Amino acid sequence: MRIGTMVADPAGPDALAKLTEQLRSAADDGFASAWMSNIFGLEALTALAVAGREVPRIEFGTAVVPTYPRHPAVLAQQALTAALALDGRLALGIGLSHKIVIEDMYGYSFDRPARHMREYLSILLPLLDGQPAGFDGESLHAHIGLSVPAQGRVPVLLAAMAPQMLRLAGGRTDGTVLWMTGPATVRDYVVPTITAAAAAAGREQPRVVCVLPVCVSDDPQAARDRANHVFAIYGQLPSYRAMLDREGAAGPGDIAVTGSEDQVTEQIEALAAAGVTDFVAGEYGAGDDQARTRDLLKALISSGSTAG
């Protein structure tokens, strides 16, 4: 199992310089990958293409780019361009987002989201593979080719929680990016569903990128309380709420990876045993806890104890 980290979305006029510092720190600390969300701050693909160009070796991923606001041909063009800037070290994580964002903020219909994603992939995937797209669906249409120079293949990872989306991820993409999905749910639901779908489609074993809050602390209850505060919105959004309910978790703090160094190590190793291919740490501690968390992650990377 590879270990990556989420980077914070920096603010201010020097935001891109701050992002470069975060990415360089992640690379220097040995992380296999660095992932960036795409919410209301910096646009993730553009930011990674600019800031990541100065940082060698490490893979960069989006977790995730919402599909509705961008035509799939536009996203393919942007992703290929970003991959070119990053020497092919881009993993394109995409997702539906949420009804409150897509309908209430952007003004698009969130009706039949699984249909939307099936049609979206029918245009996006051939274009990323250097082929023209010719598709007429119920909600999306495209007859277009792109001439962006390819820098290797851009893997696509689909944020998937509902069964239809997991089967779509396994059957047509390179895997999934998870957030707010606890270890039992990953082991008993996500990995079996996506793996079976990939096998049925004759595809390789899918990547399962599992992002969870992480904090090494001598006061795990305080760390869980902090997670409940920092990530409160994710206990309310329906898709994440469904995953928390499946886990039997009252809130984000109940699935945070926290405790002593040994306890956090045990929890991360359990994810590897459950079939997670990429564990991505959402580091959220402060002060000494923050330093201890990063030191433990570096030690795990160095020791290779989460090889799975």
Angle, to 10 degrees, between the axis of helix 72-85 and the axis of helix 44-51? 10
Which tokens is 90 given? 């881009």
- pLDDT by 10s per residue, the chain, length 308: 999 999 999 999 999 999 999 999 999 999 999 999 999 999 999 999 999 999 999 999 999 999 999 999 999 999 999 999 999 999 999 999 999 999 999 999 999 999 999 999 999 999 999 999 999 999 999 999 999 999 899 999 999 999 999 999 999 999 999 999 999 999 999 999 999 999 999 999 999 999 999 999 999 999 999 999 999 999 999 999 999 999 999 999 999 999 999 999 999 999 999 999 999 999 999 999 999 999 999 999 999 867 54
36 token code pair: 């960036």
Write the CA distances from 152 to 3, 44, 80, 81, 290, integer angstroms. 22, 20, 9, 12, 36
Q: Are strands 175-179 and 278-283 parallel, antiparallel or unpaired?
A: unpaired
Could you tell me the pTM of the whole model?
Answer: 0.97
Cβ atoms of 68 and 106 closer than 8 Å: yes
Question: Cα 91 from chain centroid?
Answer: 9
CA atoms within 13 A on the CB side of 138: 8
- Beta partners for residue 18, in sequence order: none
Topology (CATH) of 160-308: TIM Barrel (3.20.20)
Nearest-angstrom CA–CA distance, 238 and 244: 10
Q: What is the pLDDT of residues 11-51, one digit of tens each?
A: 999 999 999 999 999 999 999 999 999 999 999 999 999 99
Of 116, 60, 141, 118, whose CA–CA distance to 93 is shortest? 60
